[in-house]
Amino acid sequence: MSRIGKKIIEIPKGVTVTASAVKVSVKGPKGELHLLKRPEITIVIEGSTLQVGSIDQDRQTRAYQGTARSLIDGMIIGVSKGYEKKLEITGVGYLAVLEGKKLSLSLGFNKPVKYEVPSTVTVDVPNPTTLIIKGCDKQQVGLVADAIRKLRKPEPYKGKGIKYSTEVIRRKSGKAFASGGAS
């Protein structure tokens, strides 16, 4: 049995959920999200609760049930509270500047790297070495954060690059020279 799929989802105030035969729509103060619904899944909305069910107890159908329940729960959290990822830039001369919807990153290359921020997320630059990516779609926030991080991944010797604020970079020691050398 799908234990996650059986859990009831509480719908907070200010969030509306509508389910049709084809898709589920969640609307709240932070935005609106849609999810295409599989035909094996049933969705029952009663008052301020939502329950995801399945048409049979097949193994694959129960997997779809748990996945759908997790995705809908994430959508409800996204439109009510939102998601955010924080990135830190480490390195001498490495910095970020937000110019409208374009992010200009100086990352040690001969020219600054330009990144076009999608309309589904917002990027804040509280200081030149910190980026905060916010949005209501968890997947989109993660994709944008990963795309920015890939522009200059942190390297293990000096730790220079773009990393998540919770990420720990395992540092390596450089070359070790023998004392006393050959004459």
pTM recorded for the entire structure: 0.85
- The pLDDT of residue 4 is 87
- The pLDDT of residue 51 is 93
- The pLDDT of residue 160 is 93
- The pLDDT of residue 142 is 96
- The pLDDT of residue 179 is 64
- The pLDDT of residue 180 is 56
- The pLDDT of residue 3 is 84
The β-bridge relationship of strands 95-99 and 23-28 is: unpaired
CB 141 within 8 A of CB 134: yes
Q: Per residue of the chain (183 residues), what is the pLDDT tens digit?
A: 458 888 999 999 999 999 998 999 999 999 999 999 999 999 999 989 999 999 988 999 999 999 999 999 999 999 999 999 999 999 999 999 999 899 999 999 999 999 999 999 999 999 999 999 999 999 999 999 999 999 999 999 998 999 999 999 888 888 877 665 555
Model confidence over 128-181: pLDDT tens digits?
A: 999 999 999 999 999 999 999 999 999 999 989 999 999 998 888 888 776 655
